[in-house]
Amino acid sequence: MRSRYFLEISVESVDAAMAAERGGAQRIEFCSNAREGGTTPSPELLRAVRERVRLPIVSMVRTRAGDFLYSDGEFAAMRREVEAAKELQMDGIVLGLLKADGRIDVARSAQLIEQARPLPVTFHRAFDECADLRKSLEDVIKTGAARLLTSGGKRTADQALELLADLVRSAAERLIVMPGSGLHAGNIQDALKKTGAREYHAGLSSVVPDPANNIGTFEREVRKLAEALASCD
């Protein structure tokens, strides 16, 4: 069942990406090391998922886990990873860079976003580590990103619905604010009602801790989530 609301599912294996597609996802975020917040997948994995999945796929570009302050060498590696994602026919890039003081690194983020064109870029949850999320929203917009993935500065999005609603309203047509983290079929309708967002992101780890070994359960949870969104049309 399709919905006018958009559902992105985060996965780290080809089998999980295929299950998400069967379950009704509308876009795949593909990464490695999801339990560490996600890192750049190998070219081999990107090639494999592109061959097996028809949905749009956005690829994480993050050279390592940990903080979002990158050395010159790591930044150069990210530039190469952006190029690889383009060559492997990804449909978008997911990235995020901060400065030492915890603010958005507008200049270097903008360089990567310009390099990624014509692919759209999602600024990921590095944003949630910023002290002033409302000001940081304006900085993300300055980078040229098309979309912002955020849990509103909390561990899960359902803990920050009021702030997420403020971010959605503030961004208006300038940027897509996509709530994510901890969302599932049981709380997505409340998130939609309270935030007014049109796009949502989920990895479903709160209900399927190990998707790789529970593909059938993972597919069912994606379907339940997709159907819960569709019922709000």
Helix (H) or strand (E) holding 29: strand 27-30
Residue 48 to residue 107: CA distance in whole angstroms: 33
Could you tell me if 180 and 157 are in contact, meaning their C-beta atoms sit under 8 angstroms apart?
A: yes
User: Structural domains in the chain?
Assistant: 6-230 (3.20.20.380)
**Per-residue burial over 12-45, b = 16 or more CB atoms within 10 Å of its CB, e = otherwise:** bbbbbbbbbbebbbbbbbbbbebeeebbbbeeeb
Instruction: Examine the pLDDT at 16 and tell me if it is beyond 60.
Output: yes
Q: Residue 2: pLDDT above 70?
A: no
**What radius of gyration, in Å, describes the C-alpha atoms of the chain?**
16
Q: What is the pLDDT of residues 39-89, one digit of tens each?
A: 999 999 999 999 999 999 999 999 999 999 999 999 999 999 999 999 999
pLDDT the model gives residue 1? 45
The whole-number pLDDT of residue 3 equals 63
pTM for the full predicted model: 0.96
> What pLDDT digit, counting tens, does each position of 147-195 carry?
999 999 999 999 999 999 999 999 999 999 999 999 999 999 999 999 9
Which residues lie below 8 Å from residue 207, measured CB to CB, with a gap of 6+?
184, 221
Q: Which whole number is the average pLDDT over 126-153? A: 97
Tokens standing for residue 23: 């379950």
Cα–Cα–Cα angle for 17, 227, 171, rounded to 5 degrees: 80
